[in-house]
Amino acid sequence: MSEPRERWQSRTRFILAAVGCAVGLGNVWRFPYVAYTSGGGAFMIPYIVALVTAGVPLLVLEYAIGQRYQKAAPGALKSVNPKMEWVGWWAAGVSMVIVVYYAVIMAWACDYLVYSFRLEWGREPGKFFLEQFLKVSSGPGVTGELNLPVFAGLLATWLAIYWTLNRGIERVGKVVLWSVPIPLILLLNSRDSRNYPSRRIGRDRLLPYTRLPQVARP
């Protein structure tokens, strides 16, 4: 007899977990850049059209299939059509690849959390990142030596992942209650982001009407 399938304890935890999986570096870094270089506010028109006609329907379809068959992606798609099982395994494989390289980025973040106490990157953060932190070699064939700070950060990241997943959905639900909202709160309350001079430039690019000359008062 198979063990009972784990279930989310609340809808809030499920939504936060889904948001944590969907929102990544592309949303925080890539999307603003693409929006800025692709016409500003005009870029939002095809984006919203694609979101409404493709993104949201596919999301609803995915949730509906999962809710109907109560299985992981490969098993659920196999229940729909045995020939579609590979699509589920493809999605699982893509998720695994994303986790592997995101773990490295999280390792960098862990190291920079330590560096931030003394602002060790100084006045040349780019040079510090490439030469002192990553110690980038002269070419892909030159492996160099073991980078202990990155290795320590990566080890801490994978231990945190194991600790989170070890108890299943119950612990994941507790972790996402903190891990998902905190980055957004820190981003919105960053003193540098409020005082950064380019913020007004980005706003004017996204919303061109803010650049219209004001009518002088009589």
- Least confident stretch, 7-16, 114-123, 179-188: 179-188
| pLDDT tens-digit map of 171-197 | 888 888 888 888 778 777 655 545 555
Question: How many angstroms separate the CA atoms of 77 and 28, rounded?
Answer: 31
State the amino acid at position 112 in one-letter form.
Y
| pLDDT tens-digit map of 44-65 | 888 889 989 998 999 899 889 9
Whether pLDDT at 213 is above 50:
no
Angle of helix 169-179 versus helix 11-22 axis, rounded to 10: 70
Whether pLDDT at 206 is above 80:
no
